Amino acid sequence: LRNLVIVLGDQLDPDASAFDDFDPAQDAVWMAEVAEESTHVWSSKPRTAVFLAAMRHFAEDQRDAGHTLHYAELDARGNSGTFAGQLAADLEKLKPEALVMTEPGEWRVREALQQTADAAGIPLDIRIDRHFFSTIAEFAEHAEGRATLRMEYFYREMRKRHGILMTGRGQPVGGEWNYDADNRKAFPKQGPGLVPPRATFPPDEITREVIALVETEFAEHPGSLDTFAWPVTRAQALEALDLFIDERLPGFGDAQDAMWPGEPWLWHAHLSSSMNLKLLHPREVVAAAEEAYRSQRAPLAAVEGFIRQILGWREYVRGIYWTQMPGYIQRNAFEAFEPLPDWYWTGDTPMACLRDAIGTTLENGYAHHIQRLMVTGLYAMLLGVDPREVHAWYLAVYVDAVEWAELPNTLGMSQYADGGLMGSKPYAATGKYIDRMSPYCKTCPFDPAKRIGEDACPFTTLYWDYLIRHEAPLAENHRMALQVKNLGRLDDDEITAIRARADSIRHGDVTDSRPSSRW
Ligand code: FAD
Ligand code: SF4
């Protein structure tokens, strides 16, 4: 055996660099389902099922292509349960001359595989991941010498370098780089109107087998598989992309930040898991969106807003991850050490916004960006939860959760635990933000305008408590100046009352059980 090509569960692209010189006559493919990937932090049932189902479909394609495949099934006898253990055992048997792989998406996995290869004395050739628009070296170059990093500047560089939404004269199409001023509206009172149906893919035989396996092996894990309908093949992912471009992209900008109870999908793309598993290439997603604008099928504000998420945010968070790891995962700028409330794993809280955001998360393995950032993320930050616990939750629950994308979004963007490396200020807000963007507060026992009192919204109480607790570092941030200045309007009695109520929220007195007579 010449090369053994390692393919991880989020590397399901037959055109990846690991396959560049693949010779079926002398090379083989290696894939392994290992329990460690679902247990080192908890992985929800939908997330595990998406990964395993997509892997098994990819494996079938490899066999059909006539490639020799060494595939360890999760419940196969002798499965060692870890990548390192499984690979070490197979290296003994197969004795390849070399190991080849595309850059993995997680520091821990990269280390484990490198150590295993070194221990076996077999060279490991780790190749650049062409899936992304930028390489890690390019991002490092962009970051060099900058005290702070900002997505917007990186995004503009990317637009220019890749000629996306640019005029022939090197200017942004329409004259602006960013059309967010036209995006991000709340829905009118009567609701979002007719939301187009999302692409759904009822489980085939392979996926049904995986679902049964996950229900058996990970019975205690959170989440449900009852409505599982995610794309798990490239053909399905392409179909989902087409449907998004035709039906949702035109409404994407307006609805980007809005929330509505019982409407988890709205005008979002639901393509993150397909891209992260590498079933879809971001270049084809971005090209399809740009083409929809150029052929006047979608407005510029929506298309620019969508492309910015992929060409900007997605590439930016990956750059942060790989240039900041391994230390990044330990960062805790505001020394937050509270435990994550247990109800994050059940949705069992009277707070209407959190109950809905967590409910859809557990049912579908999905919640859209604003639910993640401004509901579940915001609450954890204001409460003062240990960022590592928040990280473990986000890595567990979403079908698109891969560490390179999840960690900077969680620790940096949503918790501000990197102290401002990734974002210029914490996304701190009261319940009034949620009230503006959704009708949740109308069915909630709490009042978003109140910071103290029996029915004060926990977000609002905790927001003021957060400002009080972190006044000194926040005052140094000029983008927080106005918010911190407002603290001056509170008298001592009010500060004492806010702190007392925040303490009882932290003890679970308010949010774990039915809190008031309004129930
Ligand atoms: P859309 O809203 O339709 O956006 C289109 C695409 O843009 C997405 O598919 C995604 O690929 C990309 N994108 C948008 N925002 C981001 C972002 N901030 N970072 C990276 N890519 C982005 N995304 C993940 O892919 N994996 C994660 O593990 C993940 N964890 C997150 C954790 C937190 C706390 C937060 C606030 C965000 C996280 N995101 C993560 C980013 C974002 O919320 C999801 O990519 C998005 O909600 C996926 O749904 P969609 O495909 O419908 O996205
Ligand atoms: Fe959420 Fe507060 Fe509004 Fe209730 S009142 S839905 S807890 S923001």
Closest CA to 126 of 108, 99, 107: 99
Supply the pLDDT for residue 519: 32
Ligand 1 centroid, distance to 268 Cα (angstroms): 10
Closest CA to 295 of 246, 244, 241: 246
Using the predicted structure, report yes or no on whether residue 233 has a pLDDT greater than 60: yes
Mutate which of 259, 356, 457, 510 to test ligand 2's pocket (most atoms within 8 Å of Cβ)?
A: 457
User: For residue 443, which atom of ligand 2 is closest to its CA?
Assistant: 6
Q: pLDDT tens, 80-123?
A: 888 899 999 999 999 999 999 999 999 999 999 999 999 999 99
In this prediction, residues 318-345 reach a mean pLDDT of 96
In this prediction, residues 17-25 reach a mean pLDDT of 97
User: For residue 352, which atom of ligand 2 is closest to its CA?
Assistant: 6
Long-range pairs of 150-159 with CB within 8 A, sequence gap ≥ 24: 150/424, 151/312, 151/313, 151/316, 152/177, 152/178, 152/312, 154/312, 154/315, 154/316, 154/319, 155/308, 155/311, 155/312, 155/313, 155/316, 158/133, 158/134, 158/311, 158/312, 158/315, 159/311
Tokens for 4, please give them.
């053994």
CA distance 279 to 410: 24
Do 403 and 395 meet the contact criterion of CB atoms below 8 Å apart?
A: yes
CA distance 311 to 275: 12
Using the predicted structure, report yes or no on whether residue 454 has a pLDDT greater than 50: yes
In this prediction, residues 143-152 reach a mean pLDDT of 86
Half-sphere exposure of 161 (CA within 13 A, CB side): 14
Using the predicted structure, report yes or no on whether residue 503 has a pLDDT greater than 90: yes
Q: What are phi and psi of 212, to 5 degrees?
A: -65, -40
In this prediction, residues 457-472 reach a mean pLDDT of 98
Tokens for 450, please give them.
């109140």
444 lines ligand 2 (CB under 6 A): yes
Closest CA to 469 of 321, 338, 317: 338
Do 255 and 79 meet the contact criterion of CB atoms below 8 Å apart?
A: no
357 lines ligand 2 (CB under 6 A): no
Q: pLDDT tens, 238-259?
A: 999 999 999 999 999 998 999 9
Residues in the chain: 519
Ligand 2 centroid, distance to 515 Cα (angstroms): 13
pLDDT-derived band at 513, boundaries 50, 70, 90 = low
> What percent of the chain clears pLDDT 70, i.e. is strictly above it?
99
Cβ density class 34-67: b for 16+ within 10 Å, e for less: bbbbbeebbbbbbbbbbbbbbbbbbbeebeeeeb
Q: pLDDT tens, 156-201?
A: 999 999 999 999 899 999 999 999 888 888 998 899 988 999 999 9
Q: Quick one: angle between helices 282-294 and 234-243, nearest 10?
A: 30
Q: pLDDT tens, 432-451?
A: 999 999 999 999 999 999 99
Using the predicted structure, report yes or no on whether residue 359 has a pLDDT greater than 80: yes
Closest CA to 307 of 156, 437, 136, 138: 156
Do 386 and 335 meet the contact criterion of CB atoms below 8 Å apart?
A: no
Supply the pLDDT for residue 517: 36
Mutate which of 316, 409, 413, 416 to test ligand 1's pocket (most atoms within 8 Å of Cβ)?
A: 409
Ligand that comes closest to the CA of residue 184 = 1
Mutate which of 51, 275, 369 to test ligand 1's pocket (most atoms within 8 Å of Cβ)?
A: 369
Do 413 and 373 meet the contact criterion of CB atoms below 8 Å apart?
A: yes
- The pLDDT mean for the chain works out to 95
Using the predicted structure, report yes or no on whether residue 145 has a pLDDT greater than 90: no
ipTM of the modeled complex? 0.99
State yes or no: cis peptide before 326, omega within 30 of 0.
yes
Supply the pLDDT for residue 518: 35
* Environment class of 76 (CB within 10 Å of its CB; exposed 0-12, middle 13-18, buried 19+): exposed
Closest CA to 461 of 485, 416, 429: 429
CA distance 190 to 192: 7
User: For residue 410, which atom of ligand 1 is closest to its CA?
Assistant: 34
414 lines ligand 1 (CB under 6 A): yes
Task: Tell me how crowded residue 233 is: count the other CB atoms within 10 A of its CB.
Answer: 21
Tokens for 491, please give them.
């008298």
Between 56-60, 193-197, 274-278, 497-501, the lowest mean confidence (pLDDT) is in: 193-197
Q: pLDDT tens, 376-430?
A: 999 999 999 999 999 999 999 999 999 999 999 999 999 999 999 988 999 999 9
Ligand 1: residue whose CA is nearest its atom 44: 369
Ligand 1 centroid, distance to 369 Cα (angstroms): 6
Ligand that comes closest to the CA of residue 450 = 2
Domains of the chain (ranges plus CATH)? 3-127 (3.40.50.620), 136-324 (1.25.40.80), 342-506 (1.10.579.10)
CA 31 to chain centre: 24
Using the predicted structure, report yes or no on whether residue 279 has a pLDDT greater than 60: yes
Supply the pLDDT for residue 40: 76
∠ CA 74-79-85, rounded to 5°? 120
pLDDT-derived band at 508, boundaries 50, 70, 90 = confident
Ligand 1: residue whose CA is nearest its atom 11: 272
Supply the pLDDT for residue 183: 84
Using the predicted structure, report yes or no on whether residue 322 has a pLDDT greater than 70: yes
441 lines ligand 2 (CB under 6 A): yes
Ligand 1 centroid, distance to 400 Cα (angstroms): 8
CA distance 317 to 326: 15
Ligand 2 centroid, distance to 190 Cα (angstroms): 19
In this prediction, residues 289-298 reach a mean pLDDT of 98
Supply the pLDDT for residue 204: 98
User: For residue 271, which atom of ligand 1 is closest to its CA?
Assistant: 51
Using the predicted structure, report yes or no on whether residue 317 has a pLDDT greater than 90: yes
